[in-house]
């Protein structure tokens, strides 16, 4: 298995490095299907992609997108929904066709049916070419919390208290973070042809080390990426601080 672990000086540099991977995919295949992630870590990536669209003609007009996860109960236009996040940070600033942006409907009356519809839509699209992922402090990917089966599919899931506290910074003080979410499963994520993970900041250092160097286990959902043959991990120096030096390759491939 080959995993490229790229360590950059700053979150912005990590974002630019991840943007390079996305740009290469879209230039190679403009009709790519990209899986998009939310959270603070990918923001520098979206900022850089928007800049490249404006200044360097990078086009997303033919690209299809699938979001990774969504809060149950939040409509697409809710300020804290992930659908809204992706509009605000990316879609509104590039030449994406709105009909090609797919998200999970957190207000669906039948959430199980919504999860199944989404899984089938991803498959019908031809499958995700490149899936972007952040990493939770507890090692979660998407909203697959510790304990999530490695072959899990898109489904309704329950957040841990840690994640709700971490994500409360995105919500107004009076608004509780939803307990339930819809998320692509770990198995759904692993079906993507390529994975691109970004993690920045000292708070992620432990989760990064457990993901890359610990045992592959449901207790660290991120560790499942090591079951995938094509993975790039972009880190800043702080997030990489607990990694063994030999796990890290600056701008080159390394077998982990
Ligand atoms: C949320 C998202 C994850 C994301 C994680 C980390 O829980 N569901 O997909 O990876 O946050 O977020 P941040 O980058 O803000 O630390």
Residue 2 banded pLDDT, cuts 50, 70, 90: confident
Q: Which of 55, 49, 48 is nearest to 96 (CA)?
A: 49
Query: Is residue 31 over pLDDT 80?
Result: yes
Segment 153-180 shows an average pLDDT of 94
Segment 38-52 shows an average pLDDT of 98
Mutate to test the pocket of ligand 1, among 41, 154, 222 (most ligand atoms within 8 A of CB): 41
Task: Please identify which of the residues 48, 53, 69, 89 carries the catalytic annotation.
Answer: 69
Residue 246 has a pLDDT of: 67
Residue 82 Cβ < 6 Å to ligand 1: no
Residue 245 has a pLDDT of: 74
Residue 228 token pair: 């995938």
166 an active-site residue?
no
Q: Note the Cα 128 to chain centre separation in Å.
A: 12
| pLDDT tens, residue by residue, 90-126 | 999 999 999 999 999 999 999 999 999 999 999 999 9
Tell me what the pLDDT averaged over the chain comes to: 95
Residue 252 has a pLDDT of: 40
Query: Is residue 253 over pLDDT 50?
Result: no
Angle formed by the axes of helices 43-56 and 11-28, nearest 10°:
50
236 an active-site residue?
no
Other C-beta atoms lying within 10 Å of the C-beta of residue 11: 23
What is the spatial distance between Cα 146 and Cα 131, in angstroms, rounded to a whole number? Answer: 20
Query: Is residue 247 over pLDDT 70?
Result: no
Residue 69 Cβ < 6 Å to ligand 1: yes
Q: Provide, rounded to the nearest whole percent, the portion of the chain with pLDDT above 70.
A: 95
Mutate to test the pocket of ligand 1, among 70, 146, 167 (most ligand atoms within 8 A of CB): 167
| pLDDT tens, residue by residue, 195-226 | 999 999 999 999 999 999 999 999 999 999 99
CA dihedral 190, 192, 193, 199 (to 10 degrees): -80
CA dihedral 130, 203, 172, 45 (to 10 degrees): -30
pLDDT higher at 64 or 249: 64
What is the spatial distance between Cα 159 and Cα 166, in angstroms, rounded to a whole number? Answer: 11
What is the spatial distance between Cα 58 and Cα 76, in angstroms, rounded to a whole number? Answer: 26
Query: Is residue 250 over pLDDT 50?
Result: no
């Amino acid at each position: 298995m080959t995993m490229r672990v790229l360590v950059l000086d700053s979150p912005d540099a990590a974002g630019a490095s991840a943007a390079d991977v996305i740009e290469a995919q879209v230039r190679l295949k403009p009709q790519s299907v990209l899986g998009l992630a939310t959270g603070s870590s990918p923001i520098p990536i979206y900022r850089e992609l928007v800049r490249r669209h404006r200044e360097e003609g990078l086009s997303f007009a033919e690209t299809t997108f699938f979001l990774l996860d969504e809060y149950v109960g939040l409509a697409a236009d809710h300020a804290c929904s992930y659908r809204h996040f992706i509009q605000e940070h990316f879609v509104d600033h590039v030449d994406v066709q709105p009909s090609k942006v797919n998200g999970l409907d957190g207000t669906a009356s039948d959430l199980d049916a919504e999860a199944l519809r989404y899984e089938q839509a991803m498959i019908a699209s031809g499958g995700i070419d490149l899936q972007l992922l952040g990493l939770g402090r507890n090692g979660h990917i998407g909203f697959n919390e510790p304990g999530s089966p490695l072959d899990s599919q898109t489904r309704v899931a329950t957040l841990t208290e840690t994640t709700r506290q971490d994500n409360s910074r995105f919500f107004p003080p009076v608004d509780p973070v939803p307990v339930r979410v819809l998320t692509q499963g770990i198995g759904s994520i692993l079906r993507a042809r390529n994975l691109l993970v970004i993690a920045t900041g000292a708070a992620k250092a432990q989760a990064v080390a457990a993901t890359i160097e610990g045992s592959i286990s449901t207790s660290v959902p991120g560790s499942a990426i090591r079951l995938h043959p094509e993975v790039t991990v972009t880190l800043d120096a702080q997030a990489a601080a607990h990694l063994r030096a030999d796990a890290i390759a600056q701008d080159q491939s390394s077998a982990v």
